[in-house]
Structure 1
Amino acid sequence: MQRKFRKIALAAALLAAGAFGIAHAAATAGAKGGFVAVKDSHFERNGQRYMVAGANFWYGGYLGAPTSVGQRARLVKELDRLKALGVNNVRVLAVSEKTAMKSAVSPATTSAPGHYDEQLLQGLDFLMAELAKRDMTAVLYLNNFWQWSGGMTQYLNWFTGSPAHDPNVSKDYERFMAENARFYTNARAQAEYRNVIAKIVQRTNTVTKKPYRDDPVILSWQLANEPRPGNSKSTPQDKATYVKWIADTAHYIRSLDANHMVSTGSEGLAGSAQDAQLYLDAHRTPDIAYLTYHLWPANWGWFDPKQPEATWDGMMDKALHYLNVHVDYAKQLGKPIVLEEFGLNRDGGSFDIKASTKVRDRFYDEVFTTLEKRAAAGDPVGGWAFWAWGGAGRAANADYWWKPGNDFVGDPPQEEQGLYSVFDSDASSLKLIADHDKRLKTIGAKQ
């Protein structure tokens, strides 16, 4: 999630045959080895329909670390809480890059090109092992368009020498997005990115001794968190570059690991310069197994938490259209789609954990119900993942901004702690999530 983006002939036959072969291989692998795979535009695992009822838990690998940054006892409790809610999937940051930007998490997995923090990688290992115990799965994203984990911004800093642009400071998101898109065409950055992909995908878990590529706990590898082609003025060349980067990178991952699906991490139209054709093209390659999209009404200027009644109806009209049109796009491509991020503020726009969540709960209920209706109609709804699990974490500072040593919560360091987190004390939200989890899985079981 970004902080606050304002406005947002023979050869062909052979290619088609190859595409079918890849898709068929992925489905077959899923059916045999406990891996989640796509069959008939839905997810399947061990011959059964699989519906994703997920939570964003980007910091899960951090909690699993054996060093001071880790909190393994907390991690175990958080996973138990999520399991009790019915959550069967978590979306997790697999790797971060060290940066001088203040609005980024630290420590980082990669301190410099080729230099990895083995303790943080062992944290990811521990997380994977614990998920296996609970029959849960994970989406692991391998980069970030946004600066809060270093991401593409830091790759450019390493290989072009350009200052790492922090849009939390400049407030210039248009400039930030245009600059960040240079990542896709920087040969050195792309080479290092593939080194990182290989490092993670080919890793053997130090806890379970199982290679990651053989581990059905992983639902999919994800190229990045919210990759974009550039800013709102992206050119046709920018868009073509972006589509090629997705196809090439996904194919590279599949060349290393034929067992797991690959996903983009796209926000949908909001992350595609509002270009439906671009969004479709980005997900058309056979190496991308399913579509993703995100929903952020307040970030996109659709909703004002300080004026909830005045802005609710307009927001929901836009939100429901956004939810439904993306399911329609998935139908066009014959692939599942997951709403893998959505959220709304606590009442009044407060960050205080004591603030009520009536408006957010109302929004969650509308989102869940809409997806359930589409799923019940047989549409390719693969599930959802709310943003984000804050669990037992708590904001430590009066200004609600994260500092190294503070608890990790669902809100990353680029935004106030408590902005969108669902905490273990949010009883009404937790009940809502649990109830809709049951409804979603009941629909899946009937189809």
Structure 2
Amino acid sequence: MKTDRRTTLAGIAGSLALLAPGGSAFAAEGNRFIRRDGTRLLLGSEPYRITGANMWYAAWLGADAAYGDRARLGRELDRLQALGINNLRIMAAAEEGPLRHSIKPGFSRPDGSLNRELLAGLDYAMAEIARRGMTAVVCLGNFWEWSGGIATWLYRVTGQYTDMNDPAHPWPAFPDATSAFYGNAEAVRLYHDYVRTVVTRTNSVTGLRYIDDPAVMCWQLANEPRPGGSDAVIAQRRESYFQWIDDTAALIRSLDRNHLVSLGHEGTQGANGSEDIVRRAHQAIDYLTAHIWPLNWGWVNGKDLPGTWDAGSAKVSDYLATHARLALELGKPLQFEEFGFPRDGEVYSPGTPTTFRDRYYAMIYGAVRASWTKGGPIMGSNFWAWNGEARATHPDYRFRDGDRAYMGDPPHEPQGWYGVFNTDESTLALVRDHAAQRCLGLSAPCPAR
């Protein structure tokens, strides 16, 4: 925006959206909030098509602190804008505690007190995202350990925790233990208190309340919240899981009538294959999300991508189709908000070819474009994730406490595993070409964001 952001957005705040029946926001004329209309996301009267990326660490870069790097944040956002990226999925929550491989500092310290410095980093990042005409999916929690997550809220109440990938507690011990959070009223209360803090916050950079900021596309309950790991625990905890979703969505809407609410769910893979859980979990949610991880889920072998590609890509195709069908059944939009794939040979270093990753990205983008063309429910996608100019600090490609070269690959993963570097020219060309098609076929001028 070329006009003064504080003045412009203060004017926008004058036309607030009301909450429509069924939980989706609708906008008055001239409103700039993204809203849901059936299986479409709209900005004004036109479909809001998303060509997005994941950049969980934006707030950390935005902090005016030793661990921050505002100059790098600006460079990365400029690169993404030049690629045609219009939406970023970012973390607005991280809880410090005993879990291994979780990012420090967090938004809340071990004693539960708030890290005002990092919250101000979120403010700065959101202001810079808005200044470039982008929107953000603002994630308010995490099922996994790399940002502390709901396991840490549970630990603060019970004093107990299970580490992910602990040999003494193999899979599915971690998701089974973590899902106890949903039925613990005190742990949920602590999480809800934090949700209130962020949603009702006033941006210290722009002076605009987040509830009035059109750069917020939606509030997301958590990253990949699962009802458990084993079938037995899922059966035991599914009702408390659904209640947590419904109650949190209702809480956010009681605080903010302008923005969408999403769950951050992986889809059937995050529910041990249950379509019924996916349907029920999204009843109070504005749009479906799905994440696709062929390597993590054993659909391909990273050391033999040529030999396993055909079978793996067939499963990807089926997963895409299944979730498009579920979206149509629920009458809601669908966003493939995480999709990742390794470099050739599952090598982490920049410069390694991305032959099969590029094929994978082309598959996802092809399904998205087909839905755009046919008026289907898929509104877009966010690749996982943006590494940009960051490079691994250590020869073993592992993140260590105190490292500041944040990548899209979170602290518990090899640095360079899935992230896209600023030198990955063939992948960047795919992203750029896909983004250039975002506005094809629209009946009015393409939305500014």
**Corresponding residue to 2:300 among 300, 303, 311:** 303
- Residue type matched to 2:247 in 1? D
Mapped partners of 1:113, 1:36: distance in 2: 37
Shift of 1:309: 1.7
| 1:425 equivalent in structure 2 | 423
Mapped partners of 1:318, 1:444: distance in 2: 32
Mapped partners of 2:167, 2:358: distance in 1: 32
- Structure 1 residues 164 and 108, CA, compared in 2 at 3 Å: closer, same or farther? farther
| 1:84 equivalent in structure 2 | 82
Mapped partners of 2:430, 2:19: distance in 1: 40
| 1:281 equivalent in structure 2 | 280
| 1:240 paired to 2:244 | no
- Structure 1 residues 22 and 188, CA, compared in 2 at 3 Å: closer, same or farther? same
Mapped partners of 1:123, 1:254: distance in 2: 25
Q: List aligned pairs for 1:40-439, cutoff 5 A.
A: 40-112=38-110, 114-167=112-165, 170=168, 172-233=170-231, 234-285=233-284, 288-403=285-400, 404-439=402-437
Shift of 1:232: 3.2
Q: Deviations over 1:183-225 (max 9, x none)?
A: 0011111111011001000100000000111101000000000
| 1:27 equivalent in structure 2 | 26
Shift of 1:230: 0.3
Superposition misfits of 4+ residues, deviation over 4 angstroms: 168-171, 443-447
Matched-pair contact (CA < 8 Å) for 1:338–1:382: yes
Mapped partners of 1:433, 1:78: distance in 2: 15
Shift of 1:440: 3.3
Mapped partners of 1:260, 1:315: distance in 2: 36
Shift of 1:49: 1.6
Q: Describe the SS at the equivalent of 2:282.
A: helix
Q: Describe the SS at the equivalent of 2:311.
A: helix
Matched-pair contact (CA < 8 Å) for 2:27–2:33: no
Mapped partners of 2:152, 2:126: distance in 1: 26
- Structure 1 residues 444 and 357, CA, compared in 2 at 3 Å: closer, same or farther? farther
Moved more, 265-274 or 239-248: 239-248
Mapped partners of 1:205, 1:52: distance in 2: 24
Matched-pair contact (CA < 8 Å) for 2:292–2:316: yes
Mapped partners of 1:108, 1:170: distance in 2: 27
- Residue type matched to 1:207 in 2? V
- Residue type matched to 2:310 in 1? D
Matched-pair contact (CA < 8 Å) for 2:368–2:379: no
Q: Describe the SS at the equivalent of 1:115.
A: coil
| 1:10 equivalent in structure 2 | none
Mapped partners of 2:167, 2:151: distance in 1: 14
Shift of 1:382: 1.3
- Residue type matched to 2:107 in 1? T
Matched-pair contact (CA < 8 Å) for 2:58–2:73: yes
Moved more, 101-110 or 85-94: 101-110
Shift of 1:281: 0.8
Shift of 1:443: 4.8
TM-score by length of 2: 0.91
RMSD value, Cα: 1.8
Structure 2: runs of 5 or more not aligned: 1-17
Matched-pair contact (CA < 8 Å) for 1:113–1:192: no
Matched-pair contact (CA < 8 Å) for 2:20–2:26: no
Shift of 1:21: 2.4
Q: Describe the SS at the equivalent of 2:326.
A: helix
Matched-pair contact (CA < 8 Å) for 1:61–1:126: yes
Mapped partners of 1:386, 1:341: distance in 2: 5
Mapped partners of 1:284, 1:330: distance in 2: 11
| 2:7 equivalent in structure 1 | none
Q: Deviations over 1:251-308 (max 9, x none)?
A: 11111111110000000001112100110111122xx110000000000000012111
Mapped partners of 2:441, 2:312: distance in 1: 27
TM-score by length of 1: 0.92
- Residue type matched to 1:159 in 2? V
Matched-pair contact (CA < 8 Å) for 1:98–1:150: yes
Mapped partners of 2:82, 2:388: distance in 1: 13
| 1:6 equivalent in structure 2 | none
Q: Deviations over 1:119-156 (max 9, x none)?
A: 10010000111111111000011110000000011111
Moved more, 44-53 or 419-428: 44-53
Mapped partners of 2:355, 2:88: distance in 1: 25
Mapped partners of 2:125, 2:20: distance in 1: 34
Paired residue total:
426
How high is the sequence identity, in percent, across the aligned residues?
40
Q: Describe the SS at the equivalent of 2:64.
A: coil
Q: Describe the SS at the equivalent of 2:21.
A: helix
Mapped partners of 2:61, 2:20: distance in 1: 40
Shift of 1:406: 3.4
Matched-pair contact (CA < 8 Å) for 1:395–1:406: no
Mapped partners of 2:216, 2:161: distance in 1: 35
Structure 1: runs of 5 or more not aligned: 1-17
